Structure 1
């Protein structure tokens, strides 16, 4: 498995980028059906709109909406003698499509509140000049309006002359005479003026007078535009009340509208007039009116409001103030504009596409987010980094990878929508759509990188991502869009709302929908580049916001990633360190902290002291051949959740030469994992440092990664990539190319027994635990790394696979430095040239297995089995050989003794047993040396006992 070719240098930026790109493309190929499901999401909505559009078109083509001719006179044979073409029904359903050459004339009306809703004194409005609410029971409440201005006297003169004191109607010219009076209605106006709803309704029309007589109800018949209806006109008093300022008017109008309890639900006023600085030579007035009327049967806002009569009233009043009461400015009628026949067209994709297409585009956000969090949760990002993948290549390829996927997704969406004829896409200029979608998906990807730093669990990130998707769409439709359509809503606050990326997307789609809807209805084009200069078009400001946020969010996301997500992370002010960087400490500089560690030196054993002195000597040399030098490493975890601080590593020093495998033994919680995490850059030391290939782990970890291999305790693999694809990816990160790469991968697979039987090309997710473990070992050794860390590499392996793996490791250590942690004493003896027993954060002893057994064993274990009648004689024999022997086991003639080595010679034991056989029967006997496991237990217990006493 070991390749003895010349050492390769670290992979270049583009080599790393190429490796990651190839891996991502392979991963994308493995997830083909996931991509199909992703693309089917927008296709589903497009097809749904086509189906609904077909249903709507059929409904719009029904007889009651179709213009045509109707027979108005038939001959004696039943044939049509005279026909009439155009609108055939007395409703406004055909108005939008039929030609209207001579629109009907209608008297101009005031919008009068219903008798139960007219303004009265309430708990919230206590003005004494308002009528008492008892008038509602008799239906006699006046229609109240306010007036204010700089000149109260002038205002009173003008308001007194607005309404007449009588009602006159001519039967020969009903509509003409009606127009000379001030009429009003509580009905809501239609969206067109072809039909005045007040004259088609059964509700009364009000004659507004300054004072109503006792009998002031009139009836007449109207015959206009296919409407034949008996109209009842009732008198209502018009009452004008003075207020001192416009702010007082505004406050009372607001508090009076839909306020109070159920009985006071609506307390409406007719209008308000602010005469400002009007006087005898200057007429300047503001007319306030209620613009909130809606047609609740359709949900659409009214496009027409009854304003002309209000303006005419105040204009006539001022004219009469100047010229006398006989002067009048007539407002005879209002009517719709003439128009030609228009095909009735309603495009659902433009009308409803804003919400649904926002969901389609936002769907990409959780896809990108979960992919990033998956790499974080599975620690794959850290694994790639530890094998040499730099932050630059990772960000460039990952960002470009998601950008290409998003562009293909949007391209399929727009092309499919255009092919099936959705006006939302076909009418608006494609170049504008491309720029907008391109800007937004870049912002969305940047936002996903930023949000991914907040999550470490894929399921949580997925739930939050989809809440963002559907929540944004619903909030956009029911909160943000009404603000966009409300012309009185401050533009500044609208821009503030658009700073939220979801609302920026919604605003852009809303503009596309509005332009395509109008273009389809009028038979013209949708949005063009020139339309972006329109003051009502918010797309240009949205694209500027998205562009600025794109770069800002991308910068913040990269900064957060550097501080919190890249291995051990960096200081929040890491960008300043490059400006203020001091020369990195070299191996010539002794550790200042080590000089103050006399307490540890006094407590350590001789072998540990010798290792520490060796490290001190190496640090004073200009160069060293030792790949790993640990200098007094310490790790202290700060207090958390009420627990005191925890010292995980206490001044660890080690010098590891090339070609040596160092075994790190210790009980659970001893600090082995913390030590390894510091060495591989996952956590930072509290003090001290280590040098790998002469580079400081505190300042040069990114360079160290290029010559390092790691076999983590838990397998970090992509479930959908094969074993071969894993090794190809990590081999490329180690700068292997071409035939050398393929040969190295093949040798690695053969070495760990994953080559034959098609196992190499099987997805890693289908591997057994042992196969995954062998693949992790192969990954750690690919590319000839000079330093390798293996954390319990043989866990879960069967005996045959374990022995095969041991052979691989023994062969690999010939020109490498390997640090191995294990709980298997057998594995430690087979693989490790030296061992260190780690207890409670400190190194208790160091040496090869034979030295440790000789140093800490100190006794033989003598076992003998005889008949139970000779047990006492056997015990006497043992004590004759070793006076300090200790019986540690006895049952049915079998006895086990522990004899100090300094009291016993092996030859004497053999001789004593031979002599005993001549006197009684010895069924079995044995003399064993101390095992490594015994040494481990003895050292661990001794160290723990000392720590407890101290």
Structure 2
């Protein structure tokens, strides 16, 4: 074992050790990394394949403007002609329309079965009776309100003409002077108004309709003429006292009693507010029965302008007289070029699928952190000198590098295969967005990891978050984004959840890429962030602030939860004194001292004397160390350690013996910083375990009860890592590792370079011992180090420990009396949380073993004769064991001689058959059993 030459490892040395370990660990998990990277590859390929297949279908003639071969010169040779006149109804929407046709403006008229009538849920009696529905003669209703009833009634009288005026020579123009409407469903684009190709009639509104008021007319719409039936329909203007009454009537009548639509629809409603002769102010409700549920503009908005025109004309006539009118001559679409459908699936499905792709990193980071927590590897590294600063810096940088490489590969591959989601949007914006988010995601993983102690649970929860976030984003959050009426403040509140921030950013990229694909423009640029409808700016601000806040909270939580520090650790004053003056004002101290045996009491007095000295050479001093676990579920408090006082110099191995549950592991856990003492303290090299564990860790080695190893690292790699934490470098590090491997018999046969997950239980145990001793720490804790070892390996291990204790203080717990006697300079028997006796093995045998152990096996018929024989030898003999003819007795040494025992046995053999017999001096095991039973019996009685 090489010695550390430069004291505790520096920050950079610790960081270097952890970085090397992480890189090695990453190499071992190359297959997992490849599977991680393949997922976005496959998803991008699937999106691209779907896009290619769909666009191939969209290239078929049915999705293009129609073309026909026409013989224009009569010479038998045809020329291909394309256009609407050569297209089917399916092809026509894709044709160029340089001069869209004109058509007269229309109102959206409710179908006869849906027109407003009297109903039990509407309190107004001025509506027509519902009997009109049987004859399809119900009028259409227009509601009005305002602050001036007289003005409102005057305006309503001018809105609907009293008669129809048609000019046969220019029927199209004359129809614009009348109020026309249709109950047909409007279309998204109205290059040809659907009302003129529908089987439903056109309606013209009048105050009263004659008995025979229907006729047919030929309407010239563009190059075509439509034969259209036109029927009169009575317009009914009704006054309401307030806009709230109109609202109440509209919403009570909407979609009542009929799954296909409303049964009480109106044409429009007008609130003239404070309109007078000097101002025109009006709010208009319009019929939006046919509304696109995707959140886009209602189809029926194409028939809204006529409602506005009616109110404007009525006000103009109120001011200037009946002859004044604003002529609303026609409506037409904008010209358009030939169009072809192209679906950009990366933009359509990108927000959902790419959310899953990026969030997939979250459970990867989370499970990695929880794995170190579950396997207690984090605390193992810390107990060997790794500080919180290097751990956080390297772990965070490691995950950041992994996430950055993942995102670069993802964006690069998506761009190379031609996904517009990546190609059209500015790469610098994408880089900023992804960089900020992966930092936030890593910080969140650190924070969430504090809540888990099991990798399987963390994995399940992590992937539930991944898929749940994507689904909630695509099927809930996106609708809120598209609904302009949804409060913006609630959008911001929802974006505080990192998954929704990610979805919002991807949604904005998708919107700009989708628009760029169809408009032939570029996607998102930095100047677009100033657009009020673009949420990318607020997302970047939210994620940046949240990243810093979450990172701070995660670090604080780690310091409080993982290390057990006080929640106000950052304002506590550090102590500069190595020792404190011992105090006898301890709970029950007088009673406790009186019950202690002289050797334990002597050790306590020794500790108190050492604490008074300004300096001493003790490696470990435990001063009245106690640990009490609070009672739960009605059970009383559990005293795991009851006022332990112990002093241990360097060069000594102290063995702790005791039955299971005696408190040995609790003592080790307090000394290694896993748990805090309830009272009292301990000093390691003069440093207090209550508040100076970070400094103690640099000179400490631990072999825990259970092997804490990375399954994919080799034995050599483990020792290189922990050797670097002990500040070993260069040739000294290499030599220390070689010596450690040889000392625990892991050097030959390639065992040193085999992954620890493939080691047997004994090999793992030997590696744990080598880790605890590398770098020659001042103090080493070994919790049952030889468990699971064969005799040869155990003997070799004992030699290693013997060599190590020459310059190290070792505390060793074991259930092997042979091991304790072979290794330990002093022993302490620990029962029910307290030290019952202390001394070297010979002293303990002499003190508690003042008797011989006599054993004899006969038939059951002669058991009484055996007991009489023993009583004759020693009247004070105590029977300790009896079963099936075998009996065991303790014979006080002051009452019996060995020669007398042999003579008595020879005489007994002449009287009855003796199957086996023996006499032995007291063993350490006998001492242990005697002390343990005595202490437990005393505790039961007390």
1:757 aligns with 2:749: yes
Three-state SS of the structure 2 residue aligned to 1:673 is helix
1:439 aligns with 2:436: yes
Aligned to 2:527: 530
Q: Quick one: distance in 1 between partners of 2:611 and 2:268?
A: 91
Three-state SS of the structure 2 residue aligned to 1:113 is coil
What is the Cα deviation at residue 833 of structure 1? 1.6
Q: TM-score, normalised on structure 1?
A: 0.93
The answer to whether the 8 A contact 1:145-1:271 is kept is: yes
1:903 to 890, 895, 902: 895
Aligned to 1:407: 404
Q: Quick one: distance in 1 between partners of 2:305 and 2:161?
A: 18
What is the Cα deviation at residue 879 of structure 1? 3.9
Three-state SS of the structure 2 residue aligned to 1:659 is coil
Aligned to 1:657: 649
1:279 aligns with 2:276: yes
What is the Cα deviation at residue 700 of structure 1? 0.2
Q: Quick one: distance in 2 between partners of 1:259 and 1:828?
A: 88
1:316 aligns with 2:313: yes
The answer to whether the 8 A contact 2:295-2:482 is kept is: no
Q: Quick one: distance in 2 between partners of 1:868 and 1:489?
A: 93
Give deviations 1:693-729, integer Å, cap 9, x for gaps: 1100011011111111111111111111111111111
2:12 to 14, 34, 40: 14
Change (3 A) 1:80 1:132: same
1:573 to 568, 579, 587: 568
Which moved further from structure 2: 851-860 or 85-94?
Answer: 85-94
Q: Gapped runs of 5+ residues in structure 2?
A: none
Change (3 A) 1:461 1:188: farther
Aligned to 1:689: 681
Aligned to 1:362: 359
What is the Cα deviation at residue 187 of structure 1? 3.0
Aligned to 2:391: 394
Once superposed, what is the RMSD of the aligned Cα atoms?
3.0
Aligned to 2:828: 836
Aligned to 1:307: 304
Q: Quick one: distance in 1 between partners of 2:43 and 2:289?
A: 33
Which moved further from structure 2: 813-822 or 269-278?
Answer: 269-278
* Matches for 1:175-574 after TM superposition, within 5 Å: 175-222=172-219, 224=221, 229-258=226-255, 267-289=264-286, 293-295=290-292, 302=299, 305-341=302-338, 344-566=341-563, 569-574=564-569
Change (3 A) 1:813 1:526: same
1:731 aligns with 2:726: no
Q: Quick one: distance in 1 between partners of 2:380 and 2:13?
A: 17
Three-state SS of the structure 2 residue aligned to 1:656 is strand
Three-state SS of the structure 1 residue aligned to 2:786 is coil
1:36 to 28, 34, 37: 34
What is the Cα deviation at residue 264 of structure 1? 7.9
Change (3 A) 1:458 1:876: closer
What is the Cα deviation at residue 738 of structure 1? 1.2
Give deviations 1:158-182, integer Å, cap 9, x for gaps: 1222112334445544433332222
Give deviations 1:643-701, integer Å, cap 9, x for gaps: 23222211111111111111112222222221111111111111111111110001101
Three-state SS of the structure 1 residue aligned to 2:890 is strand
Q: Quick one: distance in 2 between partners of 1:300 and 1:285?
A: 22
Q: Quick one: distance in 2 between partners of 1:373 and 1:308?
A: 62
Aligned to 2:64: 66
Aligned to 2:926: 934
Aligned to 1:605: 597
The answer to whether the 8 A contact 1:104-1:224 is kept is: yes
What is the Cα deviation at residue 102 of structure 1? 0.9
Change (3 A) 1:856 1:743: same
Aligned to 1:859: 851
Change (3 A) 1:752 1:280: same
Aligned to 2:107: 110
What is the Cα deviation at residue 884 of structure 1? 2.2
Which moved further from structure 2: 898-907 or 706-715?
Answer: 898-907
The answer to whether the 8 A contact 2:64-2:91 is kept is: no
Q: Quick one: distance in 2 between partners of 1:172 and 1:327?
A: 23
Q: TM-score, normalised on structure 2?
A: 0.94
Change (3 A) 1:871 1:116: closer
Which moved further from structure 2: 711-720 or 872-881?
Answer: 872-881
Q: Quick one: distance in 2 between partners of 1:212 and 1:607?
A: 120
Change (3 A) 1:227 1:829: farther
Give deviations 1:577-601, integer Å, cap 9, x for gaps: 2xxx153553242246548611211
Q: Quick one: distance in 1 between partners of 2:372 and 2:386?
A: 14
Give deviations 1:813-861, integer Å, cap 9, x for gaps: 1111111112222222222221111111111111122222222223211
What is the Cα deviation at residue 120 of structure 1? 4.3
Change (3 A) 1:861 1:357: same
Three-state SS of the structure 2 residue aligned to 1:783 is coil
Three-state SS of the structure 1 residue aligned to 2:559 is helix
Three-state SS of the structure 2 residue aligned to 1:352 is helix
The answer to whether the 8 A contact 1:158-1:314 is kept is: yes
1:823 to 815, 830, 842: 815
Change (3 A) 1:592 1:441: farther
Q: Quick one: distance in 1 between partners of 2:499 and 2:128?
A: 49
Change (3 A) 1:8 1:784: farther
Q: Gapped runs of 5+ residues in structure 1?
A: none
What is the Cα deviation at residue 407 of structure 1? 0.7
Three-state SS of the structure 1 residue aligned to 2:159 is coil
Aligned to 1:647: 639
Three-state SS of the structure 1 residue aligned to 2:698 is helix
Give deviations 1:1-23, integer Å, cap 9, x for gaps: x33x4654111111111111111
Three-state SS of the structure 2 residue aligned to 1:599 is helix
Q: Quick one: distance in 1 between partners of 2:654 and 2:742?
A: 25
Give deviations 1:232-271, integer Å, cap 9, x for gaps: 3344433343333334434443444346785986644433
Which moved further from structure 2: 590-599 or 687-696?
Answer: 590-599
Change (3 A) 1:250 1:560: farther
What is the Cα deviation at residue 214 of structure 1? 3.3
The answer to whether the 8 A contact 1:659-1:814 is kept is: yes
Change (3 A) 1:287 1:730: same
What is the Cα deviation at residue 874 of structure 1? 7.0
Which moved further from structure 2: 639-648 or 724-733?
Answer: 639-648
The answer to whether the 8 A contact 1:661-1:820 is kept is: yes
Three-state SS of the structure 2 residue aligned to 1:757 is helix
Q: Quick one: distance in 1 between partners of 2:466 and 2:237?
A: 52
Aligned to 2:54: 56
Which moved further from structure 2: 874-883 or 184-193?
Answer: 874-883
Change (3 A) 1:837 1:401: same
The answer to whether the 8 A contact 1:92-1:194 is kept is: no
Q: Quick one: distance in 2 between partners of 1:141 and 1:383?
A: 85
Q: Quick one: distance in 2 between partners of 1:892 and 1:286?
A: 107
Q: Quick one: distance in 2 between partners of 1:494 and 1:603?
A: 69
